Structure 1
Amino acid sequence: MSEQHEAGAGPERLASALIEKGSLTSDWLPAYQAVPRHLFVPDTIWPGRAGMNRQSDRVMRADEPDVWWRAVYSDAPITTQWDDGAYTGPGKGKSPSCSNSMPTMVFSMLDALSVEPGNRVLEIGTGTGWNAALLSHRLGAENVVTVEVDEASARDARARLSAAGFEPLAVVGDGAKGYPEGAPYDRVIATCSIGSVPREWIEQTRPGGVIVAPWGPTYGGEAVARLTVADEGAAAGPFVGSSAFMRLRAQRKDLPPTRAYLNGEEWPADGAKSMTTLSPDDVGDWIHMFAIGVQVPGLFCRVCWGSDGAYRLWLHDTAVTSWATVDYEKGRTQYEVMQSGARNLWDELETAWRWWNQQGQPGFERFGLTVSANGHTVWLDNPGNPVPVREV
């Protein structure tokens, strides 16, 4: 690939698309131009698709340079590691474990960070190093600390950063613990999702400082929280848009298998049958999962696909006390429900969905999060209006 090609239309076309979307603002444009994405993408990648958590087949730069280049300068995420590096073969592994994030998400989160000259920033999740490089260009590398749990990813990112002329403090460690040696920070940004904001992040942030992190409940659904840290060690703020990030390793979900709920019996085992008019196809969007998961702690789901678009939605609780199923078929207006255990999980889900519906089907931007010594509270429209949570 020629230098002329590498300096050509790809970066400019992507910049134009990001500016048109409003994610790349004028104050971040110089960093975008000075820190080309292709310098922070490895030669072997699995291109993603915008708005989807699905990867295409492996692309190797040496074999398909034009395909690689188009992927780099598309507004889509790029998976760069599977299964914490254990998977190295062709095709795809089981779980993506490192990526170069979707550019729209990168610059939207950087914009939400509201950095000012002289700010010290802690980044959780170095990944390929692109985000740390953008911050280093904007603020000076001496003001950036980036933490990565994966030694191989950290090593490669450090090499890319150095080759691009940036030397932030790149630490190998558990991002959940932050990096107290560099505290206090004016800003903290996480490039991985969480279900609980670590106390260390709040404690290491100055009062008035900002934490930007993707947050979501166990059930699913996720959005970027923009939290302002208060004097008393609490933090609160709105969600600023949906997101879909890999989980912080310290908070990865380890969910029980379905067989653990049936006690060796075949479905429907001792399940009690009922019917519902609420289609499982109408409760599966990202915002639905978020609103349901916030209200119903310890709930998670799986889908078992049949033919012609039919499927069975399984609901489980993390305490392994209850399960439920709902069967979907196209054209039906009533759906069979089976429930078993101490909790009627479909009833809980349906109650949560109907609350969301009664509030006018709010999007992520109407929700917010408060983190204090009392735990995490999700609210609607203002902190004085907490979302109802079912006590388990």
Structure 2
Amino acid sequence: MADSSSDTALRAMLDEVSTELGNLEPKFLQAARAARRHRFLPDRLWVGDGYEPCDRADSPEAWLRAAYADEPAVTQVNDGEDPGDGDRWPSSSASAPEIVFRMLQMLDAHPGHKVLEIGTGTGWNAGLLSCLAGAGNVTSVEVDATLAADAQARLRGEGFGVAVVAGDGAEGYAGSAPYDRLVSTCAVRTVPRPWLTQVRPGGVILTPWDAPWTCYGLLRLTVDDNGSASGPFSPYAAFMLMRSQRHDVRLFRDVVRDDHQPDESTSALSPWAVARDDYGAEFVIGLLLRDVWRAWHEDPGVDGVETRLWVATTDATSWAAVDFDGKSEDRFTVWQHGPRRLWDEVEAAYAWWLGHDRPGPGRFGLTVTATGETPWLDDPGRPVPAGG
């Protein structure tokens, strides 16, 4: 790849990121020039909505555009398995540059800080961290042994002193603890407790946060002297979920059975109000009902039903369905099965949100201890009751 082409692409990427975030500090610009994104990407990227392969050798210009676009560069599909003619889904990527630099700003790593990264991926972010914290101060954990080896080779080839460890990021890496900063490049639904013990008091944990109900954004925690951590949410970013926290639950395979006899009722709460129209409401449902997910079913093939919202627990023991008949927009038929009445729980969480004047996602935070997690509104002293 000609240096002039990559220089031009790098400048364009940094201009675009600066437009989104404001002018980047010189240390970030220097890091971006030292750890050039295209040098950390494999020769095959997966592009477009269908994740079609884009090979560097065959399409060098298209590959370079994808390498420096301000969007995720998908570097692996289907956990590295050959998808053949089947569906392709991303399992590893280099995050969009805008979110990478936003997270670096939030992490606030300084020279001499010891940093633990969860999710090495291509190694690009680890290279940037090494520029900011200093050679020998960054350890990165990657669950995929092949990706870990490839990233380590790239980092060494580019002259970055990063230790890459193949392992489960949920366990952190005690070998180099304690750390001043811990950053995850994959989303979690529960903050792994080993992270708390491996970050020194006053240190920062920055991780994407996710709920089965909705993707959200980032969680920035500060560790305190008693080993707990607390901090606010920052909205609007979606990341792949940590592999060990995935739930392989399918509606018609695992949840709904032919012999189920659900209870019928009606509700005035529109399913769109909690699952499509208002992101603030979606976030609160996800925060309060941490084990509940949902799926839309357009034209489900049921007489008198135009659209159905399915709601279910991640352990597949309870479910609800909310039907829109295509006519009435103030009364919906509800079906519920299992030990929990999930739509009743959704209604209660939504009522709590309305009763507190529809607080936006940025007003919430989370406190994490060795024994549990407590969401709060505005201040850790204002805990939000479980289930609203």
Provide the TM-score with structure 2 as the length reference.
Answer: 0.90
Matches within 5 A, 1:1-392: 1-8=1-8, 10-22=9-21, 25-26=24-25, 27-47=27-47, 56-87=51-82, 89=84, 92-93=87-88, 95-255=89-249, 257-265=251-259, 270-285=261-276, 287-306=280-299, 311-328=307-324, 332-334=328-330, 335-390=332-387
User: Following the alignment from structure 1 to structure 2, what is the Cα–Cα distance between the partners of residues 87 and 21?
Assistant: 36
User: Following the alignment from structure 1 to structure 2, what is the Cα–Cα distance between the partners of residues 240 and 298?
Assistant: 21
User: Following the alignment from structure 2 to structure 1, what is the Cα–Cα distance between the partners of residues 98 and 167?
Assistant: 27
User: Following the alignment from structure 1 to structure 2, what is the Cα–Cα distance between the partners of residues 328 and 317?
Assistant: 21
1:344–1:38: structure 2 CA closer, same or farther, 3 Å change rule? same
| Residue 275 of structure 1: how far off its partner (Å) | 3.1
Partner AA of 1:121 in structure 2:
V
**Range moving further from structure 2, 381-390 or 84-93:** 84-93
Contact kept in structure 1, 2:193 and 2:370, CA below 8 Å: no
Partner AA of 1:182 in structure 2:
S
Partner AA of 1:271 in structure 2:
P
**Range moving further from structure 2, 119-128 or 324-333:** 324-333
User: Following the alignment from structure 2 to structure 1, what is the Cα–Cα distance between the partners of residues 256 and 235?
Assistant: 38
| Residue 131 of structure 1: how far off its partner (Å) | 0.4
1:6–1:263: structure 2 CA closer, same or farther, 3 Å change rule? closer
**Range moving further from structure 2, 331-340 or 123-132:** 331-340
Contact kept in structure 1, 2:152 and 2:163, CA below 8 Å: no
SS in 2 for 1:231: coil
**Range moving further from structure 2, 269-278 or 25-34:** 269-278
1:89–1:37: structure 2 CA closer, same or farther, 3 Å change rule? farther
Structure 1, unmatched stretches of 5+, are 49-53
Contact kept in structure 1, 2:247 and 2:314, CA below 8 Å: no
Contact kept in structure 2, 1:194 and 1:247, CA below 8 Å: yes
Superposed CA offset, 1:300-347 (max 9, x none): 22232339x953211112343321112346665133322223222112
Contact kept in structure 2, 1:23 and 1:108, CA below 8 Å: no
Contact kept in structure 1, 2:31 and 2:128, CA below 8 Å: yes
User: Following the alignment from structure 2 to structure 1, what is the Cα–Cα distance between the partners of residues 115 and 173?
Assistant: 11
Give the paired residue count: 381
Contact kept in structure 2, 1:315 and 1:323, CA below 8 Å: yes
User: Following the alignment from structure 2 to structure 1, what is the Cα–Cα distance between the partners of residues 23 and 248?
Assistant: 36
**Range moving further from structure 2, 218-227 or 283-292:** 283-292
Partner AA of 1:301 in structure 2:
R
1:217–1:142: structure 2 CA closer, same or farther, 3 Å change rule? same
Contact kept in structure 2, 1:192 and 1:213, CA below 8 Å: yes
| Residue 186 of structure 1: how far off its partner (Å) | 0.4
**Range moving further from structure 2, 163-172 or 22-31:** 22-31
**Range moving further from structure 2, 163-172 or 358-367:** 358-367
Q: Percent identity?
A: 43
Contact kept in structure 2, 1:191 and 1:213, CA below 8 Å: yes
Partner AA of 2:74 in structure 1:
T
